[in-house]
Structure 1
Amino acid sequence: MARPPKLFISGHSHILKVKFDKTLGMLHINPGAAGMSGFHKVRTLVRFVIDQGEFKDLEVIELAD
């Protein structure tokens, strides 16, 4: 791949995950679950800034019930 991605955002698992994958050289984000139904106990989302190709100011936000 000439320009491999540096960011992978997944979902559906309802599991909060923010991890840099050294093997693939990319940041993997799964924001968790923001919905009211499901097995998760805490509703979460992830907010971050992309500034000139750099990921920064990453926040995990827990939503009130």
Structure 2
Amino acid sequence: MRMTWFVHDPVDSETAAELLSRYASRNIKTQKTLSADPRLWLVSALLPEFREEPKQSRQYKNPMWS
């Protein structure tokens, strides 16, 4: 399985800390870097990349809408 870096949009310090703690609880490698705007941070996470998108659940799909 290939791993690639996912970069979040620039976020403030509080949101960056929350993202880092959520990723840390799932043992995902992360890094926090300063954005071009010194008030904001870029949070990057090393996530697995799959060949195909996950299949959606058909439980809530109405057959009339197809």
Whose strand fraction is larger, Structure 1's or Structure 2's?
1
Q: Please state which structure has a larger fraction of its residues in helix.
A: 2
Greater length-normalized contact order (CA 8 Å, ≥ 6 residues apart): 2
Give the structure with higher Rg (CA). 2
Query: Common fold, TM-score beyond 0.5?
Result: no
